[in-house]
Structure 1
Amino acid sequence: MSEEVLQSIAKTLQLDEVETAHLFDLVRAGAGNARKKPARGRAARQVPENVQALMDAMIIAPAIVQDGHLDIGLAHHLPRRAADSSATS
């Protein structure tokens, strides 16, 4: 982030000199620790076999599998036949 942008942020937030210096320190510290996010391609979405087997066995309930980012890796909805039979009961 450029110095001009940081100065604009500090001015907009009406920061004093100490607060502005702290903002700059925070940005510098964060820039040193910046990492690229890992690619979230097809390999990242693979579901372990045991989880897949569990999902396959759940035939009367909707279910989803989410990763640590709350991305849905696997989902299935309540089968229509189960929904239809419960509506007529």
Structure 2
Amino acid sequence: MLILGRREGDSILIDGGIRIVVVSCDRGGVRLGIEAPADVKILRGEIAQQVAQQNQRAASGSAAGAWLATLGPPGAAVPPGPSAGPKATA
């Protein structure tokens, strides 16, 4: 990890056309401006972590597997529900 000291208005250039500018600094934190090409995805660290956790949950398939099991095998006939229409009388 590279650690740099920067002041308001200072910038950092990263290969690939990425520029990070220190917009403001105070006791509450630092505000950064990021300029990057449109095809570069920029995510906050906590958001990237949440996405990774959701992907792991989805890949585990426990909830999805139970839901799919209630549907039955592919191509199986779906039994009529209560709103299937009028019943035939004999």
- Answer whether TM exceeds 0.5 for this pair: no
**Which protein has the bigger helix share?**
1
**Which protein has the bigger strand share?**
2
Structure with the larger RCO, 1 or 2 (CA within 8 Å, 6+ apart): 1
Structure 1-normalised TM-score? 0.30
User: Highest Rg: 1 or 2?
Assistant: 2
Structure 2-normalised TM-score? 0.29
